[in-house]
Structure 1
Amino acid sequence: MQQDFLYEPICNAAGCQLSVTVLADRDYLREEMCADASSAGFRVLDSCSLEEYAQGPLTALGDLVLVDCSEATADAMALLSRLDMRGGKAGAHLVISTTMGALDSVFGCLSMSAVQILVDPARAERVIAIGRVLALLPNLRLREMGEDDRLMLLRLTEQVGRIAERLELMSPGQRAGGGAFRFESPSPGWRGEEDDHSGSRKRTERVQLPDSSIIRRLIKARQLRAQYFDAGLFADPAWDILLDLAAARSERRRVSVTSLCIAAGVPATTALRWIGQMVDADLLMRVSDPHDRRRAYIALADTTADAMASYLAEVGAAELASV
């Protein structure tokens, strides 16, 4: 039986209740989204279809914007781009639900705002996304949480915490006094064993990624485990993402976000969460299509590519792949 979570109105530091804009073409879904946002304490500012909102007068944007966009039509993508720009300027949080078929187009429209993209989500996933927004909004005036509230918040944030911890362990260096996940070059005064007496460091040859066929064989070997064991035992989307992008870089091939979600081997919404965390950690980077600004790809950051090349050389990837 589903528990009914009802919260008092959520207000900012000035005492004003936070608002939500709900945009969905399907009536039943729009009603669900309004009900869930209202239950979480938001005031419904606007609730209509995407077309009605796009053709209506320009109105204030809610602190939270819930959008269901199942088809990548030109009008829908234009509206998403507008919402992304307005959300980025106003500090609004966007939660966009879409389909795998429309994912690449939707992803390409969203680069300026704080956004969560959900792929074919269940209602519970939308509720969790609203909970994550509440955890991120600053200067809230909330009632004191009870024990049930605390347990629910712990469950909502547990997965995000695990992602952050695992990414932090992957990073070869952290910036002193700064955030985690930052690659750091040696300081100007650093001297290693290869430095000569004059203080100049000897130039070493840069390690290159192995041929993509070698990396693809490693990926195939990882995937074969699912034929003999429960795939959940080996779920490691971050590593699968890095391997796929390393192979693509070796092939000089661009990788769409949809393709990368498939390569991650986990539900698309989970993969998008990992990709977002890894972009924020500077492990990956978002690359715009020079011929179509509405499209974007994911690639390894140069420092990540160097780290992958060094790792694969260290473990003897070519020898492992030939076994």
Structure 2
Amino acid sequence: MRRGKLAMLNEGIARGYDVSAPRALVIADAAEGARAALHAAALAGCETRPPLSFAAAAHDFGGHGVADVILIEAAGVPDPLLDVVLARADTMARERSLGIVAAVLPEQIDAAAALLSGPRVQLLCMPSDSERVAAVTAAKWMARGEVHDVSRDADVMPFQRLHEEVARLADTLGRLVREEARQQHAGVRGPVSGYRGPGDEAAAVDIDAPQVRAVIRARRMRGQFFGSELFADPAWDMLLDLFAAGLERRRVSVSSLCIAAAVPPTTALRWIGTLHDAGLFERQADPSDRRRAYIGLSAKGIEGMKSYAGAVKRAGLPLV
């Protein structure tokens, strides 16, 4: 067990908290955001205290009791204050193995993505209630996994067992798309021998950015004639956008990539995390602006896209 976790458990016992119940620290200025976060925490089975304002969190972040999950509602918060709180939340989450669920506005995506870079961060953009609940449920299990067994008695009441099973089910539902994508599309497949001929391995890929951009435009035009939800394919749309950007030697911000995905921002952010976990995306910090992070194709992603483009060309098929 990490030292930070042990210290938090001891602090919880000293204050008389039920250490078997996961705890959520809510940071919010807007009343609506605070209510939404508290409601999601309650539905996810978390114990909460009164919300903390951003000013209070910036002044004394670590002195407001123990927590397993930090819930941040960023709407209406000035940029300088938001930066301080996000940076401190990220540091504390890393040190104590906490989960973070941050709900942000579209214009705050880039700053949040740059400042919250820990392994247990979930970014939401104008989320629904169900998205908040799913995110909090997933965060509490990720954060408490290593202390779960030592914080409960061996003889658990049937109701507590039922509660745990419901929480696990909510966790599964909340991360369904991410888990399925990780299991079924976890990376770049190896070359298909049936489509290769002598010398194909050394063949250069003759494709340029305008060709890829033409494919993207054609994909967007479908929405003029059919419902866009019929063809939602955010992973491929983002791969195409980053492939074209790489050919153009242009960097792509997180918010711009969310737009390219052509799905709701929270869904796009989840897919960015999935493709990053699969090793296809890589995070690129902006050395001149700590409030901005870029996303690019990894070497694995570039190889996959070039190999696909080459295979399509050899087969005499269009890039789609």
Q: Which moved more, 1:234-243 or 1:126-135?
A: 126-135
Letter in 2 for 1:103: I
Give the 3 Å change call, closer, same or farther, for CA 244–16 of structure 1 in structure 2. same
**Residue 217 of structure 2 aligns with which residue?**
220
C-alpha separation in 2, matches of 1:95 and 1:218: 35
The separation in 2 between residues aligned to 1:131 and 1:147, in whole angstroms, is 11
The verdict on how the C-alpha distance between 1:221 and 1:151 changes in structure 2, with shifts beyond 3 A counting, is: same
Deviation of 1:45 (Å)? 4.6
Q: Does residue 144 of structure 1 match 2:141?
A: no
Q: Which has the higher helix share?
A: 2
Following the alignment from structure 1 to structure 2, what is the Cα–Cα distance between the partners of residues 88 and 298?
A: 22
Which has the bigger relative contact order, CA under 8 A and spacing at least 6?
A: 2
CA distance in 1, matches of 2:38, 2:209: 48
Equivalent in the alignment of 2:301 = 304
Return closer, same or farther for 1:157/1:273 CA change in 2, 3 Å cut-off: closer
Displacement of 1:253 in angstroms is 0.2
User: Stretches of 4+ moved more than 6 A in 1?
Assistant: none
Amino acid at match of 1:320: P
Letter in 1 for 2:173: R
Which of the residues 36, 52, 58 maps onto 1:54? 58
**Which letter maps to 1:98?**
V
Is the Cα contact below 8 Å between 1:257 and 1:297 reproduced in 2?
A: yes
Asked whether the 8 Å contact 1:19–1:62 carries over to 2, the reply is yes
Q: In the alignment, residue 62 of structure 1 is paired with which amino acid?
A: A
Give yes or no for contact 2:188–2:304 (8 Å, CA) kept in 1.
no
Give the conservation status (yes or no) of the 8 Å contact 2:205–2:309: no
Alignment of 1:148-167 (within 5 A): 149=166, 152=170, 154-167=172-185
- Please report how far the alpha carbon of residue 154 of structure 1 lies from its aligned counterpart in structure 2 after TM superposition: 4.8
Q: Is the CA contact 2:110–2:292 (under 8 Å) kept in the aligned structure 1?
A: yes
- TM-fit CA distance, 1:26: 1.0
Q: C-alpha deviations, 1:198-226, integer Å up to 9, x for none?
A: xxxx9x75745721000001111112222
Indicate conservation of the 8 Å contact 1:207/1:306, yes or no.
no
- TM-score, normalised by the number of residues in structure 1: 0.78
- Equivalent in 273, 290, 312 of residue 276 of structure 1: 273
Task: Single out whichever of 79-88 and 152-161 deviates more from structure 2.
Answer: 152-161
User: CA shift at 1:242, angstroms?
Assistant: 0.4
2:212 alignment partner, SS class: helix
Alignment CA distance shift 1:248-1:211 (3 Å): same
Of 77, 91, 94 in structure 1, the residue corresponding to residue 97 of structure 2 is 91
Instruction: Decide whether the 8 Å contact of 1:207 with 1:309 is kept in 2.
Output: no
Q: Deviations over 1:50-95 (max 9, x none)?
A: 1122123631551100001124611211210111011011100000
CA distance in 1, matches of 2:317, 2:210: 12
State the 1:320 CA deviation. 2.8
Distance 2:51 2:20 in 1: 20
Distance 2:89 2:55 in 1: 13
Say which of 69, 74, 79 aligns to 1:69: 74
DSSP 3-state at the match of 1:285: strand
**AA matched with 2:266:** T
Superimposed CA distance per residue, residues 111-139 of structure 1 (whole angstroms, 9 cap, x where no aligned partner): 12411111011222211211222443414
Taking the TM superposition and a 5 Å limit, the aligned residue runs for 1:108-123 are 108-123=114-129
Mapped to 1, the partners of 2:61 and 2:175 lie a distance apart of 37
Deviation of 1:29 after TM superposition, in Å, equals 2.6
- Consecutive unaligned residues of structure 1, counting only runs of 5 or more, are 1-10, 174-192, 195-201
Supply the distance in 2 between the matched residues of 1:110 and 1:147 (Cα, whole angstroms): 29
Contact 1:23 1:66 in 2 (8 A): yes
User: What is the TM-score with the length of structure 2 in the denominator?
Assistant: 0.78
Report if aligned partners of 1:72, 1:102 keep a CA contact under 8 Å in 2. no
What number of residue pairs does the alignment pair up?
285
Match of 2:282 among 285, 288, 291: 285
Gaps of 5+ in 2: 1-11, 191-196
Taking the aligned partners of 2:182 and 2:51, their CA distance within structure 1 comes to 34
Question: 1:41 corresponds to which letter in structure 2?
Answer: G
Contact 1:45 1:62 in 2 (8 A): no
Alignment partner, residue 187 of structure 1: none
